[in-house]
Amino acid sequence: MTSGRATRTAKKTWTSSGGDGLPDYVVQLLHAADHLPEKQKAILIRAWEVGAAAHAGQTRKSGEPYITHPVAVATVLAEMGLDVEALVAAILHDTIEDTPLTHEDLANGFGETVAGLVDGVTKLDKLKFRDRQEAAAESFRKMLLAMSRDLRVIMIKLADRIHNMRTLGAQSGEARGRIARETLDIYAPIAQRLGMSLIKVELQNLGFRALYPWRYAVIEKRIRSQPVMRREAIEQVEVRLSRGLAREGLEHRLVSRIKTPWSIYNKMRNEGKSFDQVMDVFGFRVVVRSVAGCYHALGAVHAQFKPLDGRFRDFIAIPKANGYQSLHTVLFGLYGSPIEVQIRTEEMDLIAERGIAAHWSYKYGDETSNSAQRHAHAWILELVESQSRADSSLEFLENVKVDLFPDEVYLFTPKGRIMSLPRNSTALDFAYAVHTDVGNQAVASRVDKKLVPLRTKLVSGQTVEVITAKSATPKPQWLEFVVTSKARTAIRHQLKQLEHEDAVQLGHRMLDRALEAMGSSLERLPQQRLDAFLAEHRYQRLESFLADVALGNWMPNQAAQALMVFAELSGGNRALQSQEKILISGTERGVVTFANCCQPVPGDEIMGYLTAGKGVVVHRQDCPNLVELRKAPERMVPIDWDTQVSGDYATSLLVIAENRTGALAQLAAAVARSESNIDQVDYLDRDVNAVTLRFVIQVRNRNHLAEVIRRLRRLSVAQSVRRQ
């Protein structure tokens, strides 16, 4: 498909149809790609020809030829200064999904790198998902994994989203709202996380306009119709700042920062401010030649206007998580209006606006890569680890959303290493940020040398030390207060691992007990026959089979008989029930639960009932429901409490008390003095003289329960106390 025109390498000026016959939108792309040599521009034209032929007959909802969209996406990237491979991939980014062209076709025509980039951007519409939300989440997961191999994937995706948002008018109202919400929730925060401020701002404003067109129009009109007095005040501040900087001999560029409709709306909504209050803040950016010049300029602006106490931030010494660097200060300006000033070098300014696209470098960590690229690569490596532990694409997407919060806290390790975490992060989040093993074994922490619980929220500037113990394991309650996706994913993963280990151990005990009743054991079964049995039933490992036994997917006697028959051992036809009891400690996660009907506690006589998928459900021997359950004797599991039992167990007390003021308070105080927690109190009956209450309390064992009952019975207001 290569034409004579496409192979020219001499320097020339590209023209629209009528000259070289190129459409205006292609000429616009070539002008935007002026940083490329003519030979590479010819490759762009060849890519357009291939894309135009592949998309022939396809149109956008606006009626335009479809090829205009991918070329516009490439133009956005060309304006950022990206390389020819990224621009070619952008032109062809929808071909694998929407045309007969394949990965192999693109690899043969433009190289494996371009084909890989296109494949990374391609959505997964051809796969079957339960709903649109799951499809979007899976597409997002694939895109982030492709980012780990090449950051240009996300840059193409962001450019694609920008052009889609610019041309959103052709979509239906429902689609506009959905796409705008997704842009504000996911793509704008990703652009910010990658340091691409210009892209982020445009996505936010386009999303805001599509989602709330009336609010956008009102705010934009108010911005355009600024009163003359405000414009004069800005000019006065600008003159004073310029004079102060010039007096210090600082070569500088001073620009006033114009607030966007989205930023104004967010401040009004989140901080409860009026439009006038938001607009009463002047913003300026000072760009100087060197880092030393930044601090020199800081002194110069402070000499012109007094700084507000506590409003100075040094993001040069401690960069943001996306690589952003700048000095931020707030000054007390004319008529009391605050003046927000950012001071940075030209290099910092470029990275603040373009992020990973500034001085584009494909090789991470080399001398040419900028700080935003290095930070982005580190973040994406964390995402790859997170997704490998997540159960589903939806869970992964929710975890990533948490990590995209723009506000951060900056913390120090005891050795002085700086770490950034999302706002409201806890000491446990910090522990997992240090290392997954540190988080899993955390028991407490020291913040500025003071011992604090793991749920303690952290603030910038604190030094955090994590105290660990090798025997410690994550607790389900941790999920209630951690903030970061890394912590949440690691905790869930480890809890599932622990549940699996508990299931394997319990299943081993249950199966061994059943085999012993038949005169055998797991150890006595020939290994070759055992492996054949597992293969026959599609178990990759013995542990998976044992976990299924514990979860009730195999009855222990049924499993033992099947093993004996398969191993061709005598006893396979005997279905004896061993009277040896299996001991439980109450901490077996996911495979042992306690029945709500009778609420057993350590010390009670108990019996287990095997339920498919749930494992052993523990009942008291005097539970009325056992009469019905005993009709399936193969599911009954003789169990007892182990000598070492820990934890608190829920049980219920029925209390009949005098119906007078303060009675409930006396009862609750007695329970508290017994070192028991009250989970719930229900009024079951009430008359003039008496009230019947049900207390759901936590106790350690039967003796502890007896102590609670004794204390309640001693009260004069208590007429009757009994266990339910």
State the catalytic residues. 97-98
Cα distance between residue 719 and residue 724, in whole Å = 16
Cα distance between residue 515 and residue 500, in whole Å = 22
Tokens of 425: 């992060």
Asked if residues 356 and 195 have their Cβ atoms less than 8 Å apart, the reply is: yes
DSSP assigned state of 307: B
Cα distance between residue 568 and residue 572, in whole Å = 8
Picking from 493, 450, 386, the residue whose alpha carbon sits closest to that of residue 140 is 386
Tokens of 188: 């704008």
Q: Whose structure tokens read 């034409």? A: 3
Asked if residues 634 and 558 have their Cβ atoms less than 8 Å apart, the reply is: yes
Q: Where are the alpha helices (DSSP H) in 462-620?
A: 485-516, 527-536, 542-550, 556-566
Give the SS3 label for residue 387: helix
Q: Whose structure tokens read 């000491």? A: 427
What sign for the dihedral angle of Cα 503, 508, 513, 514?
positive
Cα distance between residue 448 and residue 442, in whole Å = 17
Contacts of residues 135-140 at CB distance under 8 Å and 24 or more positions apart, as own/partner, are: 136/182, 136/397, 137/392, 137/393, 137/394, 137/396, 137/397, 138/393, 140/186, 140/393, 140/397, 140/400
Distances (CA, A) of 366 to 360, 370, 373, 438, 483: 12, 9, 10, 30, 32
Tokens of 705: 């329960």
Report angle CA 188, 266, 234 to the nearest 5 degrees. Answer: 105
Strands 418-422, 408-412: pairing is antiparallel
Asked if residues 423 and 447 have their Cβ atoms less than 8 Å apart, the reply is: no
Cα distance between residue 571 and residue 565, in whole Å = 8
Angle between helices 702-713 and 663-673 (to 10 degrees): 140
Q: Whose structure tokens read 């607009």? A: 279
Asked if residues 400 and 389 have their Cβ atoms less than 8 Å apart, the reply is: no
Beta carbons within 10 angstroms of residue 528's beta carbon: 9
Beta carbons within 10 angstroms of residue 40's beta carbon: 16
Residue count of the chain: 724
Q: Specify the DSSP element, H or E, that contains 284.
A: strand 282-288
Cα distance between residue 51 and residue 655, in whole Å = 79
DSSP assigned state of 356: G
Picking from 723, 724, 713, the residue whose alpha carbon sits closest to that of residue 666 is 713
Picking from 403, 483, 486, 390, the residue whose alpha carbon sits closest to that of residue 439 is 486
Per-position DSSP letters for 163-208, written without gaps between them: HHHHTGGGS-HHHHHHHHHHIIIIIHHHHHHTT-HHHHHHHHHHHH
670 φ, ψ to 5°?
A: -65, -40
Exposed/middle/buried for residue 723 (C-beta within 10 Å: 0-12, 13-18, 19+): middle
Q: Specify the DSSP element, H or E, that contains 721.
A: strand 718-723
